[in-house]
Amino acid sequence: MSSQDGRKRESQLVAETVTKDTDFLRVLVNDSSRKITQLNFVASIQQTLIDIGFLTDSTVGGGLYGRLAVDQFDVDHLINANTEAVLLADLTAGVDRTFTLPAMVDAYDVANSVGQSFTVKIAIPNAGTKVIVATTGSPLVDGEITLDLTGPNLVAATFVPDGTDWWVIGG
């Protein structure tokens, strides 16, 4: 849109100390402005960001905010690539638990070279027990078939895919 002097006016977004979904953003278009909650703003542009490859539709927990789904398990568990990000292991039963990473096809977007990370943490340890992190299919974890999380202290590791294998980037 052009102004009276022929110059094109551009839209801009001004954040007003955004810390939670209910905080407001002020969107300026030409010389008018409108307040909109962060949650509503992201919901309105999320599909566009997916379409241009900025986000993937497999982003967990709303992605753009950095929110993560946190779930605790006291049984063996197959990690769901669409709904889980942080998994807490409860070892109070005194039995080793196996957490299996999702299939590579579900965790890695080849078209955009983007992978979904997962963090596994022993939240409630029990002496002599461990969490075994395994893969679905043939991918390896840091060159190994499985990775054991053990120790008397709380132990955690974050796993990221590269399209072929899984890598530990923290722990």
Q: Residue 129 has which token pair?
A: 């027990």
For residue range 31-73, what is the model confidence (pLDDT) as tens digits?
666 666 656 666 666 666 666 655 555 444 444 444 567 889 9
As a whole number of Å, the CA-based R_g of the chain is: 21
Q: What is the DSSP string of 5-69?
A: TSPBP--EEEE-S--STTSEEEEEETTEEEEEEHHHHHHHHHHHHHHTTSS-TT-GGGGGG----
| pLDDT at 82 (0 to 100) | 79
Q: Is the pLDDT of residue 9 over 60?
A: no
Compute the mean pLDDT over every residue in the chain, rounded to the nearest whole number.
75
Q: What are the structural domain ranges in the chain?
A: 12-51, 68-170
